[in-house]
Amino acid sequence: MLFWLMLTLCVEAIAQAPSFDVASVKPSQKTVGPDYNNQFKYSPSAFTARNATLKALIAEAYRLQRRQVIGPAWIDKNEYDIDARVNDSSSREQLSTMLQSLLSERFGLRQHTETRSIRAFELTVAKSGPKLQPIREGATAAPNAGLHFRGDMRQFADLLAIQLSMAAPTDPNVPVMAGGPPVPVLDQTGLRGAYEFNLEVRPELGTDGLTLWQRVLQDQLGLRIESRKEPVTVLLVDDAAKTPTAN
């Protein structure tokens, strides 16, 4: 009796897990490379991805940064397109949970998490308080010059991770490129919702990215960022198929 009760509960739990009503998952017909891939778009009833690597999809589904996802090299090279829809409006968190289920179903994704002590940046609210507000329905940011951002704080942390991997400029005529794997930026702001803003970021010769961004974040957003070596959750891919199952 106990066995059957446990089995019934497990089946019910699986049945209750939210999932997309319709989903197409297929390899991208044309690969575009790491500088242009991993494009995601959300709406209340849909999630789409274009030229997205499995590593980026896993990070998106589990709300992690890509360096927190560890697996075989191909998961950061092969690119996929996803079109997934639900009949009812869903929150971003619900869509993320549905994406977890989709990756498990179509890629046979099996994974586990570990805690490792690694270097990371911690994004927090400055003592003076934040200088930004969540997006109001129908509002858009003024068309100002500078770096434009729209999304939640976790996505902003992803952007910062790339920006902080760039070396200090030494020649004003040579554009600075990202160098090496980005160090994770952990969102510890506690700020919820989506934000849209423009940042004025002017690279300074001989000034490293951390120093520059510490000043930009403090002055323009009321945020701060500090380097830490602390326990960080990482997700290890145990198994996944290169070719997703048929739609």
The series of mean pLDDT values per 10 residues for the chain, 247 residues long, is: 46 60 94 75 91 94 89 94 92 91 96 91 94 77 74 89 74 53 87 90 80 93 91 93 90
How many residues are listed for the chain in this entry? 247
In this prediction the pTM is 0.72
The pLDDT score that the predictor gives to residue 37 is 66
State the Cα–Cα distance between residues 92 and 76, nearest whole angstrom. 24
Q: Tell me, rounded to whole angstroms, the distance of Cα 3 from its chain centroid.
A: 40
What token pair was written down for 43?
A: 């709406």
Question: In 3D, which of 187, 193, 195, 186 has the Cα closest to residue 131?
Answer: 195
Q: How far is residue 72's CA from residue 44's CA, in Å, rounded to a whole number?
A: 33
Which amino acid is it at 71? G
- Predicted confidence at residue 9, as pLDDT, reads 44
Task: Give me the pLDDT at residue 174, please.
Answer: 52
- Residue 95 neighbours by CB under 8 Å, 6+ apart: 42, 47, 86
Four-residue CA torsion sign, 10, 11, 16, 22: positive
- The pLDDT of residue 89: 87
Can you spell out the DSSP letters for 65-104? Answer: -GGGEE--GGGGT-EEEEEEE-SS---HHHHHHHHHHHHH
Radius of gyration of the chain (CA): 20
Domain ranges in the chain?
17-111, 116-231
Query: What is the distance between the alpha carbons of residues 57 and 80, in angstroms, rounded to a whole number?
Result: 9
Q: Alpha-carbon distance 53 to 57, whole Å?
A: 6
Q: How many CA atoms lie within 13 A of 106 on its CB side?
A: 26
Strand-pairing partners, residue 52, are 80
